[in-house]
Structure 1
């Protein structure tokens, strides 16, 4: 005949663990640590920083002030130090030393004020329309036809510039008292400036031709 102790043994083994049971406490601790780890990882991955982006295209040599920029929150991870942060206003003497497209972050290598290739921006006024393919960042050749002695004829065109970069294009004012056409800004090396300036001063007829090839070395 079973004793009272034998009947009590199985009942103790099937008893639900209480709040003081070590196994339950360890399980709760593991769940808390796991949730905290996930939340920390998500927080780190979603961390963003305010950075400057260009409102619109910024041409080489153009002054960069607060009006030319806007602030966005982005996640850059390890490359954050390569771009202009928005933690303080832009420097008063900040200029673009390359073309910066609208909506792009500003690489630190692209701001400062001097073109790495030593080019100078030169504005050329054109009465005729540009080829459709020509725009900011494209390359063009510039041909010049000298004005004849009777001021109504022009000589044979000669190529003055080859594969130069276009840094800016804008329409000239038109209407009463104004002139129509386009003003194109080209990035020109010092050695090519005299011929271009002479052609402009002598009112040569300038023509821009799209050049899809690479720049001359």
Structure 2
């Protein structure tokens, strides 16, 4: 952390101050970017963490706003009996991106983007089941970040 002089006025109670310091045994529950103030609401106890990063590979082009800390909706279309896919269903609304990695396949013929998305424990079976069944997984940037 870096010390900065700011005047927060009536909103100071919502942020970590140098005088108060960081509370004991807390972790960041959301991404706090470099040069941002630390909101008290972004901190929590380790026991409150129930999100884990899961890698999602996609060949689709994502907007430049789809970066770490942004929110995306994850849609899944399960394979059907006719060698196609069923209608997509939203399984992860407003999932937070933890990391974005862009790469290419052999000989640079196509680009693949791997998103590390933070998934809650209760949502994990649906996503892992979709991956295991080779479902079509689509990621859509969610500018509202609604969950």
Give the aligned length: 135
Q: Which residue of 116, 127, 138 corresponds with 1:196?
A: 127
Partner of 1:61: none
Tell whether the 8 Å contact from 1:83 to 1:106 is kept in structure 2 after alignment: no
Q: Is the 8 A contact 2:72 2:145 kept in 1?
A: no
SS of 1:192's equivalent in the other structure is helix
Q: Secondary structure at the match of 1:199?
A: helix
1:99/1:144 CA distance change after superposition, 3 Å: same
Structure whose residues are more often strand by fraction: 2
**Structure 2 match to 1:28:** none
Partner residue of 2:94?
A: 163
The answer to whether the 8 Å contact 1:147/1:205 transfers is yes
Q: Which residue of 2 aligns with 1:20?
A: none
Which of the pair has more CA radius of gyration? 1
- Listed as ranges, the gaps of 5+ residues in structure 1 are 1-51, 54-73, 85-94
1:197 positional shift: 0.2
Higher relative contact order (CA 8 A, sep 6+): 2
Structure 1 position 79 matched with structure 2 position 41: no
RMSD (CA atoms)? 3.7
TM-score, normalised to structure 1, is: 0.49
> Which residue of the partner structure matches residue 124 of structure 1?
56
Question: Shift in Å at residue 183 of structure 1?
Answer: 0.9
Shift of 1:79: 2.5
Residue segments in structure 2 that go unaligned for 5+ positions in a row: 7-15
Normalised by the length of structure 2, the TM-score is 0.68
